[in-house]
Amino acid sequence: KAGVTQTPRYLIKTRGQQVTLSCSPISGHRSVSWYQQTPGQGLQFLFEYFSETQRNKGNFPGRFSGRQFSNSRSEMNVSTLELGDSALYLCASSRTWDEQYFGPGTRLTVT
Amino acid sequence: GESVGLHLPTLSVQEGDNSIINCAYSNSASDYFIWYKQESGKGPQFIIDIRSNMDKRQGQRVTVLLNKTVKHLSLQIAATQPGDSAVYFCAEKPNTGNQFYFGTGTSLTVIP
């Protein structure tokens, strides 16, 4: 069974730009969660989607948004990028709420 | 907010020895826990999970122990191998909501 895939793997953007990251969950998984990982803050929860609905949201500004499609694929968008948004963005999928499996991540660098 | 902390940020063990990685959590309402392994440049890899109605669960070379009384979780790796070198995270999920809270991680180095 294929794992969680994320695209692109690496991205370099300039301050003020926006970015869209994509995540394809494991087949049959309906829950997709997004996390930001930085050396200083560790893994921080962004939001979680289940059946196209956002079920949970972390403490991030409104510049961070997401959505989930009917095939469970998910995208997250960051608008008006700041230097501090440089991080590894991880997507994780699960059937319902447990056994969360992560993708390889998207490394975003904001210059 | 939630607080999931690790006792030791780094751990070095000799190849073949057993490793024990500890994790403290603060929310007594947490009912599900996962241990992850993250190698450099990769996403966290699911190792083993445990629910709060259990106090021990074993996998291949790994054992997770849960002590709800003191809100402590540990991961034991038997016969540690060089390939076990990585950062290990614990994650907890409270019984309300679907959000996981992660510890800061312990870096395990296996000395050949």
Task: Give the closest-approach CA distance of A56 to chain B in angstroms.
Answer: 7
> Which sign, positive or negative, has the C-alpha torsion B9, A89, A27, A56?
positive
- A64 neighbors A78 (Cβ within 8 angstroms): yes
**Spatial distance between the Cα atoms of A78 and A66, rounded to a whole number of angstroms:** 9
pLDDT of residue A1: 64
What stretches in chain A show pLDDT beneath 70? Answer: 1
Q: Which residue do the tokens 């440049």 mark? A: B41
**Mean predicted lDDT score pLDDT of chain B:** 90
A25 touches chain B (CB under 8 A): no
pLDDT of residue B4: 55
Confidence grade of residue B2 (pLDDT, cut at 50, 70, 90):
very low
Task: Give the closest-approach CA distance of B16 to chain A in angstroms.
Answer: 28
- A78 neighbors A109 (Cβ within 8 angstroms): no
